[in-house]
């Protein structure tokens, strides 16, 4: 595994961890009745999931 691949794979893992944290925060805001903040965080989560999928595709392409 080359350095770029390892860095991108690590970044992918970091993004996935951030998605989990943002999702948890959104759930807490929703449960607390702050729908506007929860909605914004869910939007961020969706964008980060798209970024994660795209980065994952790059990493898989490097594996080939």
pTM: 0.86
Confidence of residue 1 (pLDDT cuts 50, 70, 90): low
- CA dist 49 and 43 (Å) reads 10
Q: What is the pLDDT of residues 18-52, one digit of tens each?
A: 999 999 999 999 999 999 999 999 999 999 999 99
pLDDT score at 32 = 98
Averaged over 2-22, what is the pLDDT?
Answer: 92
Instruction: Yes or no: say if 20 and 52 are a contact pair by the CB < 8 Å rule.
Output: no
């Amino acid at each position: 595994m080359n350095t770029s691949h390892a860095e991108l794979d690590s970044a992918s893992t970091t993004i996935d961890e951030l998605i989990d944290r943002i999702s948890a925060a959104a759930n807490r805001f929703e449960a607390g009745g702050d729908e506007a903040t929860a909605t914004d965080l869910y939007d961020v989560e969706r964008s980060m999931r798209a970024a994660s999928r795209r980065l994952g595709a790059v990493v898989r392409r490097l594996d080939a």
